[in-house]
Amino acid sequence: MSTTLKSLRALSDPTRLRIVALLERDELSVNELQEITRLGQSRISTHLGLLADCALVQSRRDGKRTFYKLNEHAEAATREFIQLAIRGAKELPEHSGDQINLKRVLTRRREQAQVYFNQIAGRFDRVYGPGRSWQAFGHLLLRILPSLVVADLGAGEGLLSELLARRCKKVIAVDNSEKIVAFGKAKAKRNGLKNLEFRQGDLQNPPIDANSVDLVILSQALHHAENPAAAIAAAHTILKSGGQILILDLLKHNFERAHELYGDRWPGFPESDLHRWVENAGFKKIEISVVAREEQPPHFQTILASGEKH
Ligand SMILES: C[S@@+](CC[C@H](N)C(=O)[O-])C[C@H]1O[C@@H](n2cnc3c(N)ncnc32)[C@H](O)[C@@H]1O
């Protein structure tokens, strides 16, 4: 039988006209169609099967449910049939009841989607949400970073350096541990990051030319330096004019075991010390604030300090 005849036959039944008209607004599951039309499930499924055979509707599976909608990719002739069917359905006595029921079902669906978010409102940042992670947010924020030359001082194995290298022009990762530098180098090579260069050296006298980088990062590294003020002054030296320093470190704490557990030389820093060192090094537009507090004892707090070289 020709496609035209098949479509005409499919649309010769008032129930199928009702179904086509109901799918005009949104996709619907078999259960929802059943609730709206008050027809049995097997009848609905048979009608949907016939409509799908003529490419008037299409379906998608979502777990155990199947959703139907008007065929988005229908050819011109089929689209005309769909429009005719919708016009025809409007003349049926069931039409206004169908539309009222459809509205109710769609409203309930929207409300159900909101129930979860209403429940977690006010705790949003503390509950698990699939796909929401600081790592993903980090990648998002990277997209707004211009193509910079970055020095990551006390870089470790390059957790941050690797992330930055995916966006920046060049990243120079400096660490004084021979083993860590070797490991970081090998990892960067494995990951194909040709613009990430590891150099062994001290963050108080980094092996980087003066006035050569746009951004210096000291992430949880300063509290390992013998002379933190000297490290900040060295950062100023290697920065180009207009360049920026970003320091992430611990706010002064009383957790004495940090020395033995993490090899920390300093128990974090008071904001006032950081501010003074950054200012004395010659930075302007200084901003310092606590940006994170750990939930578990000893509740380490992270400070973010920044300044610009002029
Ligand atoms: C806590 S890790 C931080 C790693 C990385 N910046 C991060 O945020 O994941 C501190 C790193 O600083 C390095 N480090 C300690 N003292 C240093 C110094 N004087 N000069 C250069 N690197 C140093 C250590 O080898 C270690 O890899």
174-193 pLDDT tens trace: 999 999 999 999 999 999 99
Average pLDDT, the chain: 95
Query: What mean pLDDT comes out for the span 211-229?
Result: 98
Q: Give the Å distance between the CA of 9 and the centre of ligand 1.
A: 75
CB of residue 221 inside a 6 A radius of ligand 1? yes
Q: Please say if the pLDDT value at position 205 is more than 90.
A: yes
The pLDDT, as a whole number, for residue 1 is: 62
CB of residue 202 inside a 6 A radius of ligand 1? yes
Of the candidates 79, 63, 62, the one whose C-alpha atom is nearest the C-alpha of residue 24 is 79
Pairing of strands 213-219, 196-200: unpaired
Q: Which residues are CB-contacts of 103 (< 8 A; sequence separation ≥ 6)? A: none
Predicted TM-score (pTM) above 0.85: no
Confidence of residue 194 (pLDDT cuts 50, 70, 90): very high
What is the C-alpha separation between 105 and 85, in angstroms, rounded?
Answer: 22
Which tokens in the block code for residue 9?
């036959």
**What are the tens digits of pLDDT across the range 25-40?**
999 999 999 999 999 9
**What are the tens digits of pLDDT across the range 150-169?**
999 999 999 999 999 999 99
Return the CA Rg of the chain: 32
**What are the tens digits of pLDDT across the range 118-127?**
988 988 888 8
What is the C-alpha separation between 26 and 227, in angstroms, rounded?
Answer: 65
Query: What mean pLDDT comes out for the span 281-303?
Result: 96
CA dihedral over 251, 256, 261, 264, signed as positive or negative: positive
Query: What mean pLDDT comes out for the span 197-219?
Result: 98
Q: Specify the residue with its C-alpha closest to ligand 1, atom 23.
A: 154
Other CB atoms closer than 10 Å to residue 249's CB: what's the count?
Answer: 22
